[in-house]
Amino acid sequence: MTTSHELFQRAQEVLPGGVNSPVRAFGSVGREPLFIDQAAGPWLWDVEGNRYLDFVGSWGPLIFGHAYEPVLAAVEEAAKKGLSYGAPTAAEVEMAELMCCLVPSLEMVRMVSSGTEAVMSALRVARGYTGRELIVKFQGCYHGHADAMLVQAGSGAATFGVPDSAGVPAAIAQQTITVPYNDLAAVQQVFREQGQEIAAVIVEPVAANMGVVLPEEGFLAGLREITAHYGALLIFDEVITGFRLGLDGAQGYFGVQPDLSTFGKIIGGGLPVGAFGGRREVMSEVAPLGKVYQAGTLSGNPVAMAAGLCTLKSLQEQPSIYEQLASKGKRLAEGLRAIFQEAKIPVTVNQIGSLCCLFFTAGPVNNYADAKQSDTERYKKYFNAMLERGIYLSPSQFEALFLSAAHTADHIEWVLEAVQEIVEGGLLAWREF
Ligand X SMILES: *Cc1c(COP(=O)(O)O)cnc(C)c1O
Residues near ligand X (CB under 6 A) = 114-116, 119, 142-144, 204, 209, 237, 239-240, 264, 274
Shortest spacing between CB 120 and ligand X, in angstroms: 9
Measured from the CB atom, the residue of 236 and 383 that comes closer to ligand X is 236
Residues marked as catalytic = 142, 237, 265
What gap in Å lies between CA 163 and CA 382, rounded to an integer? 32
Residue nearer to ligand X on the CB measure, 233 or 240: 240
Closest CB to ligand X among 144 and 277?
144
Candidates 16, 62, 102; CA nearest to 307 is: 62
CB closer to ligand X out of 46 and 237:
237
| Plot region of 274 (φ>0 → left; ψ -120 to 50 → alpha; else → beta) | beta
Distance between CA atoms of residues 237 and 140, nearest Å: 13
Q: Could you write out the three-class secondary structure of 92-153?
A: HHHHHHHHHHHCCCCCEEEEECCHHHHHHHHHHHHHHHHCCCEEEEECCCCCCCCHHHCECC
End-to-end distance of the chain based on CA atoms, in angstroms? 45
- C-alpha span between 148 and 168 (Å, rounded): 8
Residue 361: C-alpha distances to residues 209, 341, 374 (Å): 17, 12, 5
Pairing of strands 233-237, 43-46: unpaired
State which residue, 41 or 115, has the beta carbon closest to ligand X: 115
